[in-house]
Amino acid sequence: MAEQPKKDFEVTLSDEEWRQKLNPAQYQVLRHHGTERAGSSPLDKKYDPGVYYCAGCGQPLFEAATKYNSRSGWPSFYEPIEGAVETETDRSHFMVRTEAHCSKCGGHLGHVFDDGPKPTGLRYCMNGLSLDFHADETAPEAETGSGEAEKPTGGGA
Ligand code: FE
């Protein structure tokens, strides 16, 4: 189990509060760097217009327009909403990967790889359990920023 990022987030709840707020599967992914089974998320093959929010704190993370089919079995995006997703180096499971978490609550989302499509070349490989999809919404701040990810290496979410 990887450690939670060591910084203060705008939304900070106790472990017990997170347990009560999230269902057990979401809690495991968001608060303990869990990974859902590939292909298990109903959001994986969903391409309707809308916005993907953090299932932990409700911050808008991705616009549906940046979602694509990576064939990985996890919902994948090439770019987050500016400032919504932060990354850090994850050395767990004998791999060096780029971990991705919500910038507001620190909830674990997935990992970032460098085999994504243009224009960023990045693949934000996300756990559907970390996301809350709202159809037909537009992100409040629809600016496009380039995510700053560290050098990612292969692997799954
Ligand atoms: Fe969050």
User: And the tokens for 119?
Assistant: 């224009």
- Please tell me the distance between residue 4's alpha carbon and the centre of ligand 1 in angstroms: 13
Residue 100 has pLDDT above 60, yes or no: yes
pLDDT digits (tens, 9 = 90+) for 34-77: 999 999 999 999 999 999 999 999 999 999 999 999 999 999 99
CA of 42 relative to ligand 1 center, distance in Å: 20
> What local confidence, expressed as pLDDT, does residue 154 receive?
60
Instruction: State yes or no: pLDDT of 3 exceeds 60.
Output: no
List, for residues 106-153, the tens digit of each pLDDT value.
Answer: 999 999 999 999 999 999 999 999 999 999 888 875 444 444 555 555
Residue-wise burial string across 74-111, b where 16 or more C-beta atoms lie within 10 A, e elsewhere: bbbbbbbbeebbbbeebeeeeeebbbbbbbbbbbbbbb
- Provide the pLDDT confidence category of residue 85 given band limits of 50, 70 and 90: very high
Measure 124 CA to ligand 1 centroid, in angstroms.
16
Q: What is the pLDDT of residue 128?
A: 98
Confidence of residue 157 (pLDDT cuts 50, 70, 90): confident
Average pLDDT over residues 11-36: 97
Q: Two tokens at 8?
A: 């203060």
Q: What is the reported pTM?
A: 0.85
Domain ranges of the chain: 43-157
Q: Is 54 a catalytic residue?
A: no
Is the confidence at residue 155, as pLDDT, over 60?
yes
Tell me the residues surrounding ligand 1 (ion) with CB < 5 Å.
54, 56-57, 59, 102, 104-105, 107
Sequence-distant (≥ 6) Cβ neighbours of residue 138 within 8 angstroms = 51, 63
- Give residue 137 CA to ligand 1 midpoint distance, Å: 18
CATH class of the domain defined by 43-157: mainly beta
In whole angstroms, what is the distance from residue 133 CA to residue 55 CA?
9
